[in-house]
Amino acid sequence: MSPELIIAIIVTVVGASTPILIAALGELVVERSGVLNLGVEGMMLVGAITAFVVVFLTGNHYLAILLAAAAGLGTSLIFGFLTLSLSANQTATGLALTIFGTGFSALAGQGYSARPVTLLGPLFPSELATHPIWRVLFGYSALVYFALIMVVAIWWFLKKTRAGLILRAVGENDLSAHSIGYSVIGVRYLAVMFGGAMAGIAGACFPLLLTPQWAERMTAGRGWIAVALVVFASWRPFRLLAGAYLFGLVMTMELYAKAGGGPLSVVPSELWAALPYLATVAVLVLISIRRDASTNAPACLGKPFLPSN
Amino acid sequence: MQFRLEKRREPSKVMVYATPVAAVVLTMVVGAIIFSLIGYDGVGAVREIFLTPLTNSFKWQDLGVKAAPLIIIGVGLSISYRANVWNIGAEGQYIIGGLAATWVALATHGMTGWWILPTMFVAGMLGGAAYASIPALLKTRLNVNEILTSLMLTYASVQLIYYLVRAPWKDPMGMGFPQTRIFSEAARLPTLIPGTIVHLGVPIAIVVALIAWFIMSRSVFGYRMRVVGAAPHAARYGGFSENKTIWLALLVSGGLAGMAGMLEVAGPFQRMVPGFPTNYGFTAIIVAFLGRLNPLGVIFAGIVMAITFVGGEVAQTTIGLSSSATGVFQAMMLFFLLAGDILIRYRIKRVVPAAEVRA
Amino acid sequence: MTLSRRNVLKAGAAAAALPLLGTKAFAQTEPLKVGFMLIGTPNDNGWNYGHATGAKFMKDTLGDLVAEPTIVENVPEGPDCERVLRELAQSGHKLIFATSFGYGDYVIKVAQQFPDVKFEHATGYQRSDNVATYNARFHEGRAVCGTIAGHLSKTGKAGYIGSFPIPEVVMGINAFVLAARKVNPEFTITPVYISTWNDPAKEADADRAMIDQGIDIIAQHTDGPAALQVAEERGIVGGFGQGADMAAFAPKAQLTSIIDHWGPTYVQSAQAVIDGTWTSADRWPGLKEGEVQIGPYNESIPADVVAAAEAVKNGQIDGSFNIFTGPINDHTGAEKVAAGVTLTDAELLSMDWYVEGVNPPA
């Protein structure tokens, strides 16, 4: 493999990984607070159509990202209200949210499909990215760097801040967090809203970063890969980063192998597609065998908070 | 906030029955208003989606056929959820059940005999149960969260279908299209009522729900599941093994999902195709909750869901309502139903504004 | 927020359908109701868009003879489509087009229950008294594209994004590379199958993977413009619109496009039903009948290349040229079709081998 090809592969992998990384970072915070929102795919689609329409109407990519975040946040409030205020079942509500997002985005997007937009250009001036090596570092759009910054920010937030500690406490033991005076529901609302905003931005990556068009269901299941990724990374931001690029590599290596021939091209594409999920199960098994407390699922994950019980 | 929720001493019997009905009615009213406001024929949409499937007797067979797999899977899930075992991978167990039955059908292709269908039936159930035993094993041995494993395994099973129908099981006469050959007569479910599409799966769904209701409310097994779910500590005290319950919950829900897979592939599909996973396993999660985790409630919930699917297509042909609009209607109904849940366990009470308020 | 075409269609469909609800007898003097069943939505800029446009063409051409066409979208290939077919037949549609391969079993089944309704199944092969099949000779358009590719490609390498290796796709790849090798005997093509008809991000990544490994021409047999958009972004020689003119998405990169023009065949069928002359048949028209059309050539293409492409097109229209006339070697170099022999339609419809110049997928 030539250095140019390796660099080209890296660039494609980074592109493919970014939306799942952003969505998974949001879901990581949500799950750390003890909530399982399976509506990521739906919120991503709402973000994708919002970003598309905004950039089509205004041409302003950053406004599109901002409003996609707002749209994702708004969608997540439906989930938050039902599961947190009304303590509805999180799994069923998350699935319903995906049905909603899929239908709503398709409805809102009618008439926008034959319209092209432009991708969000690289963040840095092109002079910085002329040499292939520099291209790996400076050749991307702002969304890619945003994802990387958020990895560090979320790690710092969870590990180093008081607010992060409270969030983790709420996810690990909601009753004691409640008893020492924290608003479990309030914290979880904030986490769910953050997750929604991130899913919205992840959706915006599709028309702004990957393929500048609107197509119904264009996220094509990547919201579920994001859910898998959070588990694969055992709820840790830096593992999530590595996992996202690994998943992105698996998703794109299939295509590179098929396009270029060679030994990997005989692996059935179905096995490539199943790999992220099988790897996630394997990781779950591994962390359970190691019984490393820091890699376990948040203890309250998916359970409603009912203080008066 | 001027209202607060107060826990009822007993779950409200009235609300158990009233909230689903209220949710459906509310969806119809709110849906009609919202869709009219954004420029659709809102009243027409509600009429076609919710009423036509019920009033047009030609649609009843469709309701039965569409509801049957939802009910069978939903019943299994409701048993599992009662025991606090969160199997959300029924879609995968449904797929593996369908594949196991397909394997029997392909292996016996061209043969005749009454035993082929029962063999497929057993294979389907075993397939679904076997796939559900992976999360069961990981949960009981390693305490791995079954929500996550069962969900991941579902996505892997979808790829297994794609692989099998594209390569080893591909129909030799199928012009290269990724699908298996059509099953022999002996491997297809007979039509029950001539001139309709009602197959054996429809009565099986009702029987499964009735048996499950009887077992859950009258037997030691049902008692064990309910006690373990409601009060795990008391259950341990009473000598019920938690691991055994987890195994039972997953094997029963997986086996029923596999049964539904077998009935679908041998009935409506009659061959394995990439389009076999139609989200029945996920929709059944919603059905189980709509049915209040009660097998008889699941029958009702399965039919309600089937109405919206069938009605959605009616609305497309008669008033040109897009399929995405139907999706929004469905989601809206689910939101209202899930929201209504709380009224069973809580009552809404006005609070004095001065009181300390928690969300 | 909705496209006006859809609103018109919807209003018309509602007005036409309401008095006919149920299964009342259908008087001959009323306009013919025609139904279309789509696997996706008309918004895909590709396959489904082509059929919806054809439906509109039929209505525009036949006017009051037909009602506003009824379009049912997002119908999965499975038992759900059986229900939609019955719904259409019961609500008075006398001519129903099922536009995806996987509907085949169910079309045959429902057609037995409604002997007075005519069904037409696109890309299928099962027929009965009231079920016809139809398709288009897309590979004729591929031969035109391949000619352009042979002239313009600098690397002599093209990529081809396919969904599944079905005969229709294999035929298109073979026609493309046969035409290109008549210009440049060293021309090769690499097909990448992505196992889906519509996942734009995956199409785009497949395109990137091929461009990074040296192709400078891209062709695709999936439903959207994603691959062309990447070609535009990367500034390679170019690609071809599939199903519809996609110049809006890739003004520089789209060299030309293959346009599905189902309108005339829909007019013909509807007219035949109205006249009572409809019979079951298998129709496979192409460039000659105008069902397959070549879109405008990109201005950047030199005049002699346009002339060569036009020659291939016109040769196929007047019957003097057939891309599948031997000698043709398979991908190993062994002779598969002798000189002067032309592959029959039946051989084309079951094509599962690649010609010389194709790097066969594993």
On the question of pLDDT at B207 being above 70, the answer is: yes
pLDDT at B136 over 50: yes
d(CA C192, CA C48): 22
What was the pLDDT predicted at C139?
94
CA distance C2 to chain A (A): 5
Q: Which of B5-9, B42-46, C53-57 has the lowest mean pLDDT?
A: B5-9
B265-287 pLDDT tens trace:
999 999 999 889 988 998 998 89
Tens of pLDDT along C300-323?
A: 999 999 999 999 999 999 999 999
How do residues B62-99 score in pLDDT, each as one tens digit? 999 999 999 999 999 999 998 889 899 999 999 999 99
Average pLDDT over residues C334-350: 91
Closest-CA distance, A254 to chain B, in angstroms, reads 14
ipTM of the complex: 0.88
pLDDT for C20-50, tens place per residue? 443 334 445 689 999 999 988 887 777 888 9
Could you report the per-residue pLDDT of A170-206, keeping only the tens digit for each? 998 888 888 888 899 999 999 999 999 999 999 999 9
Find residue C337's DSSP bridge partners: C328
Q: Which residues of B touch A270 (CB under 8 A)?
A: 159-160, 162-163, 166
Dihedral Cα A52, A58, A63, A68, nearest 10 deg: -20
Whether the pLDDT of residue A66 is over 70: the answer is: yes
Contacts of B318 in chain C (CB under 8 A): 13-14, 17-18, 21, 91
One-letter amino acid for residue B53 of the chain: P
> Percentage of chain B with pLDDT > 90?
45
Domain ranges for chain C, please list them: 4-134, 139-260+293-349
The tokens describing B197, both together, are 């599409």
Cα A260 to Cα C222: distance, rounded to the nearest angstrom: 20
Q: Which CATH number among 3.40.50.300, 3.40.50.1100, 3.40.50.2300, 3.40.50.150 corresponds to the domain C139-260+293-349?
A: 3.40.50.2300
Cα of B172 to nearest chain C Cα, Å: 11
Q: Residue C348 in contact with residue C355, Cβ under 8 Å? A: no
Q: What is the pLDDT of residues A265-298, one digit of tens each?
A: 788 888 888 888 898 888 888 877 876 555 567 8
Compute the average pLDDT of residues A85-98.
90
Instruction: Give pLDDT tens digits for A242-267.
Output: 999 999 998 888 888 888 877 777 88
What pLDDT shows up at residue A18?
96
Is pLDDT of B2 > 50? yes
| Residue A22, H or E segment | helix A3-32
Chains that touch C (3 or more CB pairs under 8 A): A, B
Work out the angle at residue B282's Cα, subtended by the Cα atoms of residues B281 and B287, and round it to the nearest 5 degrees: 90
CB contact under 8 A, C199 and A211: no
**C-alpha angle with apex A304: A303 to A309, nearest 5 degrees?**
115
Task: Name every chain A residue with its beta carbon within 8 A of the beta carbon of C40.
Answer: 216
The first and second tokens of residue A53, run together, are 């329409």
Out of C21, C91, C101, whose CB is closest to B177? C101
A12/C208 Cβ within 8 A: yes
Give the mean model confidence (pLDDT) for residues B159-184: 88
The backbone torsions φ and ψ at residue A64, rounded to the nearest 5 degrees and listed phi first, read: -60, -45
Mean pLDDT of C150-167: 91
Q: Say if C4-134 and C139-260+293-349 have the same CATH topology.
A: yes
Architecture of the domain delimited by C4-134? 3-Layer(aba) Sandwich (3.40)
Residues forming a β-bridge with B347: B6
> Could you tell me the two tokens for A117?
């937009």
Q: pLDDT value at position C19?
A: 39
Which of B60-74, B127-141, B303-317, C317-331 has the weakest average pLDDT?
B303-317
For A97, nearest residue in chain B (alpha carbons): B331
Percentages of chain C per state (helix, strand, coil), in multiples of 5: 40, 20, 40
Q: Could you report the per-residue pLDDT of C215-234, keeping only the tens digit for each?
A: 999 998 887 889 999 999 89
In DSSP notation, A98-151 reads HHHHHHHHHHHTTT-TT-------BSS-GGGGSSHHHHHHH-SBHHHHHHHHHH
State pLDDT tens for residues A27-37.
999 999 999 99
Q: How far is B136 from A57, CA to CA, in rounded Å? A: 51
Cβ <8 Å between A97 and B7:
no
Tabulate helix, strand, coil % of chain B (nearest 5). 70, 5, 25
3-state helix, strand, coil in chain A (%, to 5): 75, 0, 25
pLDDT in the model for residue A242: 94
pLDDT at res. C300:
94
| CB C254, CB C239: distance < 8 Å | yes
| Residue B1 reports pLDDT greater than 50 | no
Cα distance between residue B85 and residue B67, in whole Å: 24
DSSP C41: -
Q: Answer whether B177 touches C (CB < 8 Å).
A: yes
CA distance A65 to A43: 14
B324 to chain A: closest CA residue:
A103
Does C326 contact chain B (CB < 8 Å)? no
Contact A284 B339 (CB under 8 A): no
- Closest Cβ opposite residue B144 in set A99, A274, A288: A288
Asked if the Cβ–Cβ distance from A189 to B326 is below 8 Å, we say no
Provide the CATH number for the domain formed by A3-295 in this structure: 1.10.3470
Q: Which chains touch B (3 or more CB pairs under 8 A)?
A: A, C
- Cβ contacts below 8 Å, chain A against chain C, sum to 128
The answer to whether the Cβ–Cβ distance between B317 and C1 falls below 8 Å is no
